[in-house]
Amino acid sequence: MDSPPALIRTKDDVVRVINESADAPHSRMIGFIALGGFFLDAYDFTSLSAGSVQMKSEFGLSASQLGLVTAVMAFGAIVGALSGGYFVDRFGRLRMFIVNLLLFVLATLGAAFAPDYETLIVLRLLIGIGVGLDVPVAMAFLVEFMAMKKKAKWVESAAALWSAATICGLLVALLLNALGAGNSLWRWEVGLGALPAVVILLLRFKYMAESPMWAATKGDLAEAARILSITYARPFELAPDAVAAPQAETPRNPFRPFGQLFTGEFRKRTILISVISAAQSVQFSSVGFYLPLIVFSFFHSSFTVSLLASVFANACGLCAALLAANLADRLGLRRLTVIGFSGVAVVLIVLGLVGHLIPPLLGVVLLAFFIGAHTFGPGSTAQSMSAMSYPTRVRGVGAGLSQASNRTGSLIALYGVPVLLSAFGLYHALLILLVAPAIGLIVLAVIKWEPVGNVSEDEPESVFGSPTGGTSRPAITPTHSI
């Protein structure tokens, strides 16, 4: 005998079903698909880092031209994140998922066959826009499909996927180098990034539906009930006396929703998240992107040795990210961030003061500790905080602003680090980079916000002007026990 349907009366019922229910049949697949964009982003980031020497040689690029190839993607990601956050909240999560992946696949393949430097710049810009679009929707999907007890673990797993993709990219570079790819190494590596993107795109068509939280927030409780029925493989129906939240008119000005992030209780959270996102990006882009070069300065050895040492460092980052994902609910994101920034600061001090005196192997171990501390802390928690600190109606723009701050930090680092290296040398430059974790620790000391355990869906009415100052919490009325 089929179970009678559970009745959905309000948006809160939809939220509570997701937060309190056991895992949906395909929840793990949904999680991995949503995180796929982070894998693609990290792989692409690594492909440029590993193949920069070959690209520079093929096109005869100056240092500033090579810097523009990396920086233009970060700029594109800022554009994609800011616009994507708005469009994700306006048009839904699923549509933007498809758009950003198609853009990434086409632009990546185009970049691999770019006939000249100018074409490459344009295509790298489009890749950046695709990556920037993906992050707000990926974070929204993870928060809006996972049970409350699993949200922090899943959003924290983004850093683990990033580390895994980095290792994958480095290993591909090693293989291509061994096969004699020569100056075409970067083309092969960039082009191969389209393969996982196509797989993720196909899986998204098969397994993913629109976010029921987003549908409910838009006032379509019937659609939310339909999605819940599909997602949890049990019946949900709209109750006869259902009360849909009035659908807010979408602002014509796409920047207006970002202003809401700086009002009321959200202001301090937004400042905290923006600063942490930028600071962690500066420290990682400064060291992570130039990791093979820094390792080379220790060993004065081959391209292969530098990449193998980089693989080891990122393997430590992967382990640290997995550990952070499992500790997020217990320790909280704020504490993880403090630990991570502190660890990074210690490594920068040691390398900056005595890096020229230590044995090469110890230098690699310290770099591995740097990557581990980063992925254990702000490298994973910055984006997680943005996903878990805002309600559904502004979660997209919240994640988009965080990603824009992230890419701004990356732009600063990718342009600033070569200048620092030229003016002060490697070790003094590492000391100057202490400003990044220092700023992060200062803002964490001033703004003590912890999103884990705070249900942001209970806040929107009070923050955006409910006369009652809060939301009601009616129980789901099932015709059977849920």
Query: pLDDT tens for residues 413-457?
Result: 877 887 888 788 888 888 999 999 999 999 999 999 998 877 555
pLDDT at 110: 94
| Confidence tier at 469 by pLDDT (50, 70, 90) | very low
On whether residue 225 sits in a domain, the answer given is yes
- The pLDDT, as a whole number, for residue 399 is 85
Q: DSSP states of 374-388 as a string? A: HHHTHHHHHHHHHHH
Please, which pLDDT band fits residue 300 given cuts at 50, 70 and 90? low
Predicted local confidence at residue 320, as pLDDT: 94
Does residue 464 have a pLDDT over 60? no
- The answer to the question of residue 352 being in a domain is yes
Query: Would you list the DSSP string of 424-469?
Result: H-HHHHHHHTTHHHHHHHHHHHH-----TT--GGGSHHHHTT-TTS
Q: Once rounded to an integer, what is the mean pLDDT over residues 235-250? A: 71
Return the minimum-mean-pLDDT range out of 117-121, 161-165, 295-299, 459-463. Answer: 459-463
Q: Does 418 or 266 have the greater pLDDT score?
A: 266
Tell which wins on pLDDT, 239 or 25: 239
What ranges in 2-61 are assigned the alpha helix state H? 11-20, 27-59
Q: What is the pLDDT of residue 461?
A: 42
What is the widest separation between alpha-carbon atoms in the chain? 76
pLDDT in tens, 114-136: 999 999 999 999 998 988 888 88
Instruction: Give φ, ψ of 7 to 5 degrees.
Output: -95, 135
Q: How many angstroms separate the CA atoms of 379 and 343, rounded?
A: 12
Domain range enclosing 84? 8-238+261-461
Task: Give the model's pLDDT for residue 209.
Answer: 83
Who contacts 412 (Cβ-Cβ below 8 Å, separation ≥6)? 278, 282
Overall domain count for the chain: 1
Domain for residue 3, yes or no?
Answer: no
Q: Which tens digit of pLDDT belongs to each residue from 169-208?
A: 889 988 988 888 888 888 999 999 899 989 988 888 888 8
Here the tokens at position 144 are 């809006």
24-28, 197-201, 309-313: the lowest-pLDDT one:
24-28
User: Looking at the DSSP assignment, which residues form a beta bridge with residue 7?
Assistant: 237, 477
Dig out the tokens for 366 from the structure.
């310290």
CA-CA distance, 444 to 284, in Å (whole number)? 18
Give 344 or 463, the one with higher predicted confidence: 344
CATH number at residue 327: 1.20.1250.20
Q: Which pLDDT belongs to residue 339?
A: 97
Confidence check: pLDDT of 332 > 70: yes
Residue 246's pLDDT is 59
pLDDT above 50 (res 36): yes
| Span 372-387, average pLDDT | 91
Share of the chain above pLDDT 70, in %: 87
Is 73 within 8 Å of 131 (Cβ atoms)? yes
Residue 263 · residue 461 · CB < 8 Å: no
Whether residue 481 lies inside any domain: the answer is no
363 within a domain of the structure (yes/no): yes
What gap in Å lies between CA 213 and CA 318, rounded to an integer? 31
Q: CB-based contacts of 425: which residues, under 8 Å, 6+ apart?
A: none
Between 290 and 85, the more confident residue is: 85
Residue 47 lies in a domain: yes
Confidence (pLDDT) at 321: 92
pLDDT-based confidence at 270, cuts 50/70/90?
very high
Instruction: Kindly state whether residue 472 falls inside one of the protein's structural domains.
Output: no
Better pLDDT: 445 or 258: 445
Mean pLDDT of the chain: 83
Q: Does residue 1 sit within a domain?
A: no
Tokens of 73: 């993607």
Please state, in angstroms and as integers, the Cα–Cα distance from residue 162 to each residue in 71, 169, 229, 238, 436, following that order: 19, 10, 32, 40, 21
Going 21 to 25 to 31 to 34, the CA torsion angle's sign is negative
pLDDT of 463 over the 50 cut: no
